[in-house]
A and B are shown apart, each in its own frame.
Chain A
């Protein structure tokens, strides 16, 4: 005898009524060899037979268990080996330092475990198994809902909770009393001949099914989100010129799912009005940010301007996209004049932070400048910016705090060809100082170098122009995410939670009452309860029922005849078997 049913006590398991307190699939016994319907009888199995056998295996609890276990095992490598999706830099470092392991890992898909063939195979099999398990269970459960609780089994004393006594009350009175009480306790009651069958806690099974079905919802939401997702970043400097509109070309970088279509991108945009940051001013974590937020003006499909504040943990939700504040840094507001005294560039230039105290580096490229003779000559500046400046005798200028307490910009200047016209994509944060077409401005054989504070102007040699530091502002880096399917994911998650709670906290239980005239003409009352073995509840509930029924059909003070031998088989049992 093999069963998956926790509820059936060993001795009572043979009773049909005791089984199926849940619709869990019953484990198949190993087919005997030569029986012709199992794998051992291989030669006699047709393709269909094998398919059926395979399907039965796949949808068994045992295989579900094994697949679940495999799934948890398979998830492990992805947490230990760097993953391209989360940390591509680490992956390439790994590849560089492991010339043997690297290619093997690549072959095995270990750098993208969660989208690898083998990981997918496990969860797809699991979900197929789940479908094969859930569908029949759902039908079976609907059948149970429409039918009646199973009739009282013949041997009630084999049930996990049992009570009996002999009374002078008529059998019908006993049953009526029991029935009323059970109904009041919201049991579903079905009368039999000389007996009652009652059941309660159907929500447990319903919850279990809801939980498992919601897993599908979650899977679909996940797939949907992955395939159509887009996720990009954009560094935004303050002011209208630095604004962002949602367009593939506007992103600093954009990654997206396989089915993403740039034509479907929503219409919206924003400009940064102001950025605020505050830092821990003392203690061991001095300098760590305590708060930062960006004040922005944005527009959506309505093309109207709205003002809002975006904080960490609190993205702007717009046209189905979310805009997160991810990082920030300083931008130099500079004005560059060329050899003719014309303003060749004016505006903010973002510098990238290098450390927690926002020591920052950046370059200023001025392609449209002319020299003092009016000949086109491009200008470039490489800079180091320290918001709270100290000069370390060895390391040079450094920042010791991230806020603007003592800001200084250190610049060196170049002229010649910035290489921007070559049409090659250029990193805006790097100046190709190694290029032989780019020359450094020097003074007396030494590179031109000057620490500047706000308001300072650096004059370039030979009347080549000047650069003025007008001010320092802060830029913000935003991550713009479009992930569809999120509502489905949340809904499924909630359904899972509710289903799970119902499934684990509600007890499904049955009570049978039998009252039949005994050999001496007195009524033999038998009550039995069946519930999960983990819970003493079935026994407690039965005890309360016994109290009520006993009060109305008190026992007669005599040793009762052994009930299980006198109770005739419930006639309805036969139809049932």
Chain B
């Protein structure tokens, strides 16, 4: 139990607010830079000859490459491992937003630098919010949203830093984070304050921070899933020789449907245990705060629904006839449940989980 020296450091609280607005301004610049990246990219040859034609799949006979060096000695390279995917169509990943266009590429890099800068400001905002009240900065919906956006960007930047090819997600992520922050500062804003005793618990750190991480990462998974659905349709059209819809040049620059699908699966599968843990931690907290570990409170119910929806998705991935688009819809349903649990239940249905002042 944390006994609160009932103070709020107003200076820190104000600083936090300024930092949120600054971060939003810089995210907006990053957003514009991404738009420029995609726009310039659409000029590129790759985008115009929208056919990212099926690359020969691994049917070619593998062979040992022999490279002759100057002296005439044969240096043997190791034999190549030939892979063949189970489900993919053998279509290669798109070339990315810039589509190989130099100017587009430049703007893409500017966008990422701006995202890093905005992330730093955003991070500062969360830290000072926490410092202003000496507690974890996720005690109400405003703080939850701001932190969730931060974690989503952090996950993206970490993947980038690890050298994963996730640049394609940049524009969509920055857009979503801007929406999230916009909603936070306008509708959900709550000024910095202490919490009611029921929220004074180290489970606040554990349970809520896990929920935030899950939300942020499920969010990345959902973005990938949506893009998968578009790209999948594009690839089907491509195979049928009519891939010249309005956004064909956008879809052409995305990774292959199979790649997006795998990315989404790995993201969702990786957070699923954490989401399970989040619910369990919540139950343990509920047990110590309210005297029961499960009481079908609306928030509990929707966490359960979200959990079952994602379990459905994982099952669908392992069931013939359900892979691909159907599974993707289930993943989106899961994410919609998560969002509803967070916005819908907190705002429209009042349960025991009422955050301090929304």
Name A's B-contacting residues (CB within 8 A). Answer: 2-11, 22, 24, 27, 61-62, 64-65, 68-69, 71-72, 75-76, 78-80, 83, 85-86, 113-114, 157, 160-166, 222, 231, 278, 280-285, 288-293, 311-315, 322, 324, 479, 481, 483, 486, 489-490, 493, 496-497, 500-501, 504-505, 529, 533-536, 539, 542-543, 546-547, 550, 554-555, 557, 559-560, 562
Contact = CB atoms under 8 A, between A and B. Distances in A.
| A interface: dominant SS | mixed
A163 B77 CA distance: 13
Interface stretch (B97-105, B142-150, B197-205, B248-256): B197-205
Contact of A69 (B273, B301, B312, B349): B312
Contacts of A9: 84-86
B193 A504 contact: no
A283 B3 CA distance: 18
Contact of B288 (A5, A78, A166, A315): A315
Contacts of B78: 546-547, 550
Q: Identify which of B66, B289, B312 gathers the most chain A CB atoms within 10 Å of its CB.
A: B312
Contact of A6 (B273, B276, B323): B323
Nearest to A483: B292
B240 interface: no
B3 A6 contact: no
A4 B320 contact: yes
A72 B79 contact: no
Given A292-B197, A533-B85, A543-B81, 18 more contacts: A2-B320, A4-B319, A9-B86, A65-B315, A68-B312, A79-B349, A86-B351, A222-B294, A278-B6, A280-B194, A283-B8, A285-B193, A290-B197, A314-B288, A324-B289, A483-B293, A501-B273, A505-B270
B64 A284 contact: no
Nearest to B88: A533
Given A85-B295, A493-B280, A162 B196 contact: no
B276 A313 contact: no
Contacts of B266: 534-535
B11 interface: no
Interface stretch (B35-43, B167-175, B214-222, B302-310): B302-310
A557 B320 CA distance: 44
A254 B318 CA distance: 47
A2 B337 CA distance: 31
B318 A22 contact: yes
B291 A162 contact: no
B25 interface: no
Contact of A497 (B61, B277, B308, B314): B277
Contacts of A314: 1, 288
Contacts of B63: 559-560
B4 interface: yes
B357 interface: yes
Given A280-B6, A314-B288, A64 B315 contact: yes
A64 B291 CA distance: 33
Contact of B1 (A78, A288, A311, A557): A311
A72 B292 CA distance: 22
Q: Identify which of B4, B79, B337 gathers the most chain A CB atoms within 10 Å of its CB.
A: B79
Given A75-B301, A550-B78, A289 B61 contact: no
24 contacts: A6-B318, A27-B319, A65-B312, A72-B309, A161-B81, A162-B62, A163-B79, A164-B79, A284-B191, A284-B193, A284-B357, A312-B197, A313-B200, A324-B290, A493-B283, A496-B276, A500-B273, A504-B272, A505-B270, A534-B266, A535-B266, A536-B83, A539-B81, A562-B61
B48 interface: no
B311 interface: yes
A291 B3 contact: yes
Contacts of A293: 1
B240 to A, nearest CB: 20
B239 interface: no
A161 B83 contact: yes
Interface in B77-118: 78-87
A322 B81 contact: no
A313 B288 contact: yes
Contacts of B1: 291, 293, 311-314
A534 B79 contact: no
A69 B292 CA distance: 26
A9 B57 CA distance: 13
Given A65-B312, A164-B79, A562-B61, A76 B305 contact: yes
B293 A489 contact: yes
B276 A283 contact: no
Interface string B240-264: 0000000000000000000000100
Contacts of A165: 64, 79
B86 A231 contact: no
A555 B64 contact: yes
Contacts of A312: 1, 197-198, 200, 289
Nearest to A279: B6
Nearest to B357: A285
A8 B295 CA distance: 42
Q: Identify which of B4, B297, B305 gathers the most chain A CB atoms within 10 Å of its CB.
A: B305
A177 to B, nearest CB: 14
B153 to A, nearest CB: 25
A410 B196 CA distance: 30
B291 A560 contact: no
B84 A86 contact: no
Contact of A79 (B81, B84, B200, B298): B298
Contacts of B84: 9, 11, 160, 162
B356 interface: yes
Given A72-B309, A76-B305, A283 B193 contact: yes
A11 to B, nearest CB: 8
B291 A322 contact: yes
A64 B277 CA distance: 23
Contacts of B320: 2-4, 27
B76 interface: yes
A8 B200 contact: no
Interface in B324-351: 330, 337, 345, 349, 351
Contacts of B193: 280, 283-285
Which 10 residue pairs are nearest across A and B when measured between Cβ atoms? A72-B308, A9-B86, A533-B86, A79-B301, A79-B298, A481-B291, A165-B79, A555-B64, A61-B319, A312-B197
A562 B62 CA distance: 9
A322 B284 CA distance: 13
Interface in B47-81: 58, 61-64, 66, 74, 76, 78-81
A312 B4 CA distance: 14
Contacts of A313: 1, 197-198, 200-201, 203, 285, 288-289
A497 B83 contact: no
Contacts of B4: 290-291
A4 B318 contact: yes
Nearest to A559: B63
A24 B314 CA distance: 13
A363 B5 CA distance: 36
A504 B313 CA distance: 13
A478 to B, nearest CB: 10
B265 interface: yes
Contacts of A72: 304-305, 308-309, 312, 337
Q: Identify which of A164, A311, A483 gathers the most chain B CB atoms within 10 Å of its CB.
A: A164
B86 A10 contact: yes
Nearest to A114: B296
Contact of A75 (B82, B304, B312): B304
A78 B304 CA distance: 12
Given A160-B86, A290-B4, A486 B194 contact: no
Nearest to B314: A504
A231 B295 CA distance: 13
Given A313-B197, A557-B66, A24 B318 contact: yes
